[in-house]
A and B are shown apart, each in its own frame.
Chain A
């Protein structure tokens, strides 16, 4: 079974600071990788995903993530955060075959001060 680790549980930044949230997974096979975001009072929604091709993927609102297979990592980045990026961020992994059931990390709470 796969597992996902998000090392930063709480991150506090000022506007315009750069962001990098770590995500590591353990699984022996090919995977699909996701970042989901939950803004205050809203439901979880997809931020970006990777399933093949260019390991650097771009998502909504200026976010990007890089899949480094050798490190089993899929870190989320944004060069300059905004107050509106305050949210909970979840990394998820699903096997490319079999059940495809995504496994989620514990989430990272990001607070951006104006």
Chain B
């Protein structure tokens, strides 16, 4: 079946512009995660959605970052007034549930470059 889909795959933007990154999770997966991966770094947790519960935003690095998940499916990560340090690969993942070691299924990521 279809996996996690992310768009765009690459995004180059000028410093100060806003960007929107999209994630389409696997159908039926209730949990959705956003991570980012900077060069030489591991995956940094950003935000987590589980069903209709309030999202866990504890990983968002600043108030320029926000995300929403509409209808329990598609999610959009928005970065306002982008900075050069925002350059990274943004990864979306979904899982069937949050318990019992349910593994994450990752998309291919969006490579964001802020010039």
Interface residues of A (CB under 8 A from B): 4, 6, 32, 34, 36, 42-46, 49-51, 90, 92, 94, 96, 99-107
> What is the bound-complex CA distance between A104 and B37, given in angstroms?
10
In-complex Cβ contact of B101 among A34, A44, A104, A106 (8 A): A34
Q: Check A45/B98 contact, CB under 8 A, given A101-B48, A103-B45.
A: no
Majority SS at the chain B contact face: loop
Given contacts A94-B101, A105-B42, A106-B41, contact A45 B56 (CB under 8 A): no
Determine the distance from Cα of A36 to Cα of B109 in the docked complex, in whole angstroms.
15
Q: Give A19 Cβ to nearest chain B Cβ, in Å.
A: 20
A95 to chain B, nearest CB (A): 10
Number of A-B contacts (CB under 8 A): 57
Interface size on B, residues (CB 8 A): 26
Sampled A-B contacts (7; CB under 8 Å): A6-B42, A43-B4, A45-B106, A49-B103, A96-B99, A102-B33, A106-B42
